[in-house]
């Protein structure tokens, strides 16, 4: 069964305290691993797509990495405005003509000044 | 600016009533989707459409219906057959079925 699990469910950091969010996936072949940011009461906003193990992508204080079993979202020197829920989603090979994604439950990050 | 517009943002419904959530996009995307979000759960796919006049059921289609008469529009009807309709509903679109999703701001439905 295709499954995506994110950990931890919630994370509190002090401003400037770097950390990582984990996304473990079990899918029948991976066509893409997606990261989104969601602010309270809003729709998710696209951050990254990773396609193959070893791939890395960066955007400001965020860096996403991918292995054959999991993805990490590294947050370097976070600021309070980085506070949000981060969603991970995997696209199985069989969904290439449907766009179906398997979403994790999200990690809610709070960065205190 | 291009984007996805969902309305209404908040909706209250009495049990037994059907309600329709609107989703309009001006991104010229072919693929459109409806997801449901509940606290502590991942987004779950309700329906998706890759082209006008065609749509398929997602994982939790029971109690919902959609139409795709125009490329820009993909309304979702929550029927009285949906047992637990209170949730946050998200509409999304993508350039291709395998591309990243662009989401609307969401519609929060509460059944009284």
pLDDT along chain A (113 residues), means of 10: 94 98 92 95 96 96 97 98 97 71 95 97
Q: Is B97 at the interface with chain A, CB within 8 A? A: yes
Mean pLDDT throughout B15-26? 95
Q: Which of B42, B98, B101 sits opposite A105 (nearest CB)?
A: B42
| Angle at the Cα of B6 from the Cα atoms of B16 and A98, rounded to 5 degrees | 90
CB contact under 8 A, B103 and A34: no
Say how many CB pairs under 8 Å bridge A and B: 70
Distance from A35 to chain B by nearest Cα, in Å?
9
Inter-chain CB proximity B48 and A41 less than 8 Å: no
Alpha-carbon distance of B76 to B23, in angstroms, equals 8
Q: Are strands B10-13 and A84-92 parallel, antiparallel or unpaired?
A: unpaired
d(CA A82, CA A109): 8
Instruction: Say how far apart CA B107 and CA B92 lie, in whole Å.
Output: 12
Q: pLDDT tens digit string along B54-85?
A: 999 999 999 999 999 999 999 999 999 898 99
- B94: contact with A, CB 8 A cutoff: yes
Structure tokens that stand for A95 in this block: 């969904």
Interface probe, candidates B4, B7, B42, chain A, greatest A C-beta count within 10 A: B42
- On whether any CB of chain B is under 8 Å from the CB of A91, the answer is yes
Determine the pLDDT at residue B46. 96
Contacts with A61 (C-beta within 8 Å, 6 or more apart), sequence order: A75, A76, A77, A78, A79, A82
pLDDT at A95: 60
Q: Taking all residues of chain B, what is their mean pLDDT, rounded to a whole number? A: 94
Does any CB of chain A come closer than 8 Å to the CB of residue B106?
yes
Q: Which of B68, B56, B59, B85 is nearest to B23 (CA)?
A: B68
């Amino acid at each position: 069964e295709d499954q995506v699990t994110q950990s931890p469910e919630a994370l509190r950091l002090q401003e400037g305290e770097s950390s990582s969010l984990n996304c473990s996936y079990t899918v029948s072949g991976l066509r893409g691993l997606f990261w989104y940011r969601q602010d309270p009461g809003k729709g998710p906003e696209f951050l990254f797509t990773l396609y193959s193990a070893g791939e890395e992508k960066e955007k400001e204080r965020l860096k996403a990495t991918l292995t054959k079993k999991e993805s990490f979202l590294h947050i370097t020197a976070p600021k309070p405005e980085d506070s949000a829920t981060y969603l991970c989603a995997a696209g199985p090979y069989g969904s290439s003509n449907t766009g179906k994604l398997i979403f994790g439950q999200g990690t809610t990050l709070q960065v205190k000044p | 600016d291009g984007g996805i517009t969902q309305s209404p943002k908040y909706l209250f419904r009495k049990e037994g009533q059907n309600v329709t959530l609107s989703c309009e996009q001006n991104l010229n995307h072919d693929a459109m989707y409806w997801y449901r979000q509940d606290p502590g759960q991942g987004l779950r796919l309700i329906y998706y459409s890759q082209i006008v006049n065609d749509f398929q059921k997602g994982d939790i289609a029971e109690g919902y219906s959609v139409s795709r008469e125009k490329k820009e529009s993909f309304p979702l009807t929550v029927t009285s057959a949906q047992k637990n309709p209170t949730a946050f509903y998200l509409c999304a679109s993508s350039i291709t079925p395998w591309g990243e999703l662009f989401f609307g701001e969401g519609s929060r439905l509460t059944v009284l």
